[in-house]
A and B are shown apart, each in its own frame.
Chain A
Amino acid sequence: MGCGGAEGRARSRHRGDGVIPGPGGQRAGPGLGRPYEIRVAVRPGGRGTDLRAVMPAMGTGVHLRILDVPESLARRAAVAALAEIAAIERLANVHDPDSPLSLVNRLAGRQMVRVGGPLLDVVRRGMDLGVAFQGAFDITALPLLRAWGFGGYRFDRPPTGEECDCAREVVGRHHVEISGDALGLRRAGAGIDLGSIAKGVAIDRAVDVLRRFGVRRALVEAGGDLYALGCPRDAPGWRIGLRHPLRPGWCASFPLADAAVATSGAYESFVDYDGRRCGHVMDPRTGQPAETCLSATVMTNSAGLADAAATALFVTGTPDHLPPGTGWMTVVGGKGGRVEVQSGGVVPRWTPVPEGEGV
């Protein structure tokens, strides 16, 4: 079978039509243009305000908490921060056929698309981190995801070695072309997936917005990645739980302040091919699903970096490539269905959560 063979298994979601509308670079309009909710509690005893906001975005829920600023300021800051996240999602959402990134993928090998600066910033950041992590993280791994039955494709069997090789042929940063404010892919079948960095970048941008509003105590979380800005009064940090990869509940908890944390794992998204469980995190170097541990978590000063680094840690299973100043935790399978948490680097003092607690 030649390298067009994969198309025989796949149902393409969107057929290219050659249109180049150049929708990129748009900022959020006057409103978010999407549902969200904000609630503010004025805590008794002069303990200030406690704002909580939620917005569905990036295929998950974005949660925001702001403490101890006047209510009107907190509301304005929250809306602005959510708008920042919504803006990134509009640009980088591969599940939205009308997003600029989807258009770039659809026109791979044919034409470039004018996407604008914000999306290009994310792409460049992703490419740089790909170099830093020596290929263990790669924003162009979308063909591999497709080959294994993710990203809108379904198969009744895993890809053959030949099919994997075909997918790998179009993976790599050298297939990405940037010219001015336009983005393109040099090979048909190539594709960009920013799923392991866009959430983090969006969180970082939202935190920057909050800082500009003068917010000093906040928590921004999107799909399990988060940034802890400051911490609540009289607390060493925000209380963060590390999700148990096998069961509902948590396997560890730790305080976090002025730092980001992100977790990568395959326990939420996987396919089953006749008993072989294949996670959605691909090792771009081998074309195979990563299977080094159950989950990998990275703490550092940027959510975008944490997001990508957690993916790379999950792929390699080793913290060797992590930059100085980061902390890491991996969860590996233990005896009798139990799990073991390993950690290193600049990691907060964490506490194991006993089995069955917090479920």
Chain B
Amino acid sequence: MSKGDEAPLLTRRDLLAGLATTPALVAFVVAARTHAAYRKDSRHGIFGDLLERLPLPGGAGESGAAPAGPVLNVGLIGVGYRGKQLLVAAGFAQPGQLAAGESLGTDGEAPLGIRIAGVCDIYQPNLDWGVVASGGTAVPYRKARDLIASPGIDAVILAVPDHWHVPLAVEAARAGKHVYVEKCFSHDVDGALAAAEAVKAAGVVLQLGHQGRQNSLYALAARLAGDGLLGGIRLAQAFTNHNGPVLAWNGAIPKEAGPRNVDWEAFEGNGATHPFDLDRFFHWRKYWAYGTGLSGDAFTHEWDALDLVLGGLGIPGTAIASGGIYGWRDGRETPDTYQVVYEYPERGLALTYNATQANGWRRDKILFGADATMTLEGGVRVYADRDSTRYAEFLKTGRIDPDRPIAAYLPGDGRWLDAGTSATQHWAVSRGLLYSTTPTGRRVNTATLHLRDWLDAIRSRRQPACPIDLAVVEAVTAHMGTLSMRWGCRVRWDAAARKVVPDRDTGGTA
């Protein structure tokens, strides 16, 4: 073949437009095959339109080319558990990790076009780890303020305890540095509002670290819900079940850790004055002075998914929550069992959530619509409601079985296979979606995609996927639940005063 014979590679837009019908339709044939009549209905009946217009799950694009624009100098503040994960997601790791077969988030993807120009941690081994992982390019900092102030830093990633998110984000914004900050956005409501002002005034790009926003599964679910497959959704449920010490915020404390290599004063901040305590330092999520409890740490992941699927929840009208320490009586302050009900009167929706850190059962998020129910966890399944008016004719004639999904996207396997043989194209549907898939079936680290989205937003001066206004909604929503639990009464959002207040109209006693 001569050089001129090679087709020009298409743009992502072209690709998606061209693929829009085929793979997505393929995806939903998975469900169709489980019920005899559905396959025909999918082409000729009420689903036809919807399926033909479904988007291709996952991002697409040509890999291999560095992004346009100069290399951005990024500083990482916090090289702990999450900070290390983000470095790997960004394409940086220690040689030992690569030798052990760990794959970088950018493997097979375009590089992010960044240099890790600085790392900061107040635990010396973490700081050393970050410098090595950066390839030796990073300047080590013991003080976050010094890293932020460095003229060699364009943007910062904040992977620090929750109580430091806002102070460092504000400082970075005021220094003109773009910010990627882990959830929960703030330690309290006022902090979120103040940070928003600072970020907007500075004109920097802030991305809240909800990488789930890049999950193609949720994008697909959002399209289904948005296209009305479920009818009016009036109730949504979400859950977190965690078990074991790590997920219960009791991970191993390094033996070498002590006052010699931990900067306790820098950790406390915010006026806190506790004596040196390694449990507080490494298990900070268990303490209100630093963490935001299950609401800020675990619920916000679920909230993020539901916010995406339901098309923007906004700040809830009210919240009522309770919780207790029942499973881990280890001196912690934040409950290991927690439940909350949010009401969104304006959109006619209630959202319930409960969580435990003493059980690991996996539960689906569930969206209850007047015509159908969607389950969402590792896959999307939609079941017609027995009393649906929309599907009444199909239910009556038995062409829809309410016990079988009318639509499903069931990725998940394929991590151990190269291909599959089947009667038709089942394989195209089922190849792995551990995090997010491209049309080629490759799994891509969502944190990599989320970082890329942030960097693209910086380069093109656009809004990122989880921008500052959404960060405020996330934080206020999370804190409403926490405040309700801690105050022992229902709370509401006073939009005029921009405060969370006890809901005295319903008999609140605080």
Contacts and interface: CB of A to CB of B under 8 A. Distances in A.
- Does chain A bind chain B? yes
Interface of A: 30-41, 43-45, 50, 52-54, 56, 59-61, 63, 65, 71, 75-76, 79-80, 83, 154, 219, 221, 223-226, 228, 232, 238-243, 245, 248-250, 253, 261-272, 277, 295, 297, 358-359
Nearest to A33: B7
Contacts, number: 199
Task: Specify the main secondary structure of chain A where it touches its partner.
Answer: strand
Task: Specify the main secondary structure of chain B where it touches its partner.
Answer: loop
B60 A269 contact: no
Contact of B422 (A54, A65, A263): A263
Contact of B98 (A45, A223, A242, A248): A45
A36 B22 CA distance: 12
Interface in B26-56: 26, 29-30, 33, 36-37, 39-40, 44
B10 A60 contact: no
B419 A238 contact: yes
Contacts of B19: 35, 37, 56
B496 interface: no
Contacts of A32: 7
Contact of A63 (B44, B109, B441): B441
Contact of B418 (A53, A60, A238): A238
B415 to A, nearest CB: 9
Interface in B1-26: 1, 4-10, 14-15, 17-19, 21-23, 26
Given A35-B10, A39-B62, A63 B98 contact: no
A98 B417 CA distance: 37
Contact of A241 (B1, B8, B417, B428): B417
Contacts of B420: 221, 224, 240-243, 250
- Nearest 3 pairs between A and B by C-beta? A35-B18, A41-B108, A272-B36
B422 A43 contact: no
B241 interface: no
Given A221-B419, A253-B417, A43 B107 contact: yes
Contact of A358 (B4, B10, B30, B416): B416
B442 A39 contact: yes
7 contacts: A32-B7, A35-B19, A63-B427, A76-B1, A221-B427, A266-B423, A358-B412
A34 B62 CA distance: 16
B98 A35 contact: no
Interface of B: 1, 4-10, 14-15, 17-19, 21-23, 26, 29-30, 33, 36-37, 39-40, 44, 60-64, 98-99, 104, 107-109, 399, 410, 412-414, 416-428, 430, 438-442
Contacts of A265: 422-423
B7 A30 contact: yes
B1 A34 contact: no
A37 B441 CA distance: 11
B440 A39 contact: yes
A297 B9 CA distance: 35
Contacts of B439: 37, 54, 61
